[in-house]
Amino acid sequence: MTNTVVITGCGRDRVGIVAELTSILFDAGCNLLDSSMTLLRGEFALILMATLPDSMSVEALETQLSQLQEKLKLQLSVRKLADDELMEQDADQFQFIVSVYGADRPGIVSGITRAIAELDLNISDVQTKKVTQGSREIFVMMLELSSKKDVRAEFIKSKLEEKSKSLSVDLTVRELEVMEL
Show pLDDT as tens, one digit a residue, over the chain (181 residues): 579 999 999 999 999 999 999 999 999 999 999 999 999 989 999 999 999 999 999 999 999 999 889 888 899 999 999 887 877 655 568 899 999 999 999 999 999 999 999 999 999 899 999 988 888 889 999 999 999 888 999 999 999 999 999 999 999 999 987 654 4
The reported pLDDT for the residue numbered 88 is 63
In the prediction, which pLDDT does 178 show? Answer: 65
Q: Which pLDDT does position 89 carry in this prediction?
A: 56
Helices (H), the chain: 17-27, 58-72, 108-118, 153-166
Q: Are 4-85 and 94-175 the same fold in CATH? A: yes
Task: Give yes or no for a contact between 126 and 44, defined as CB atoms under 8 angstroms apart.
Answer: no
Query: pTM of the entire structure?
Result: 0.76
Instruction: Give the model's pLDDT for residue 180.
Output: 47
pLDDT attached to residue 68: 87
12-24 CB burial, b ≥16 within 10 A, e <16:
eeeeebeeebbee
Domain range list for the chain? 4-85, 94-175
What is the per-residue pLDDT for 23? 93
Name the nearest CA neighbour of 151 among 98, 80, 111, 104: 98
The pLDDT value given to residue 149: 87
* Interacting residues of 13 by C-beta distance below 8 A, sequence separation 6+: 39, 42, 43, 44
CATH match of 4-85 with 3.30.70.260: yes
pLDDT for the residue numbered 79:
95
pLDDT at 33: 93
CATH fold of the domain at 94-175: Alpha-Beta Plaits (3.30.70)
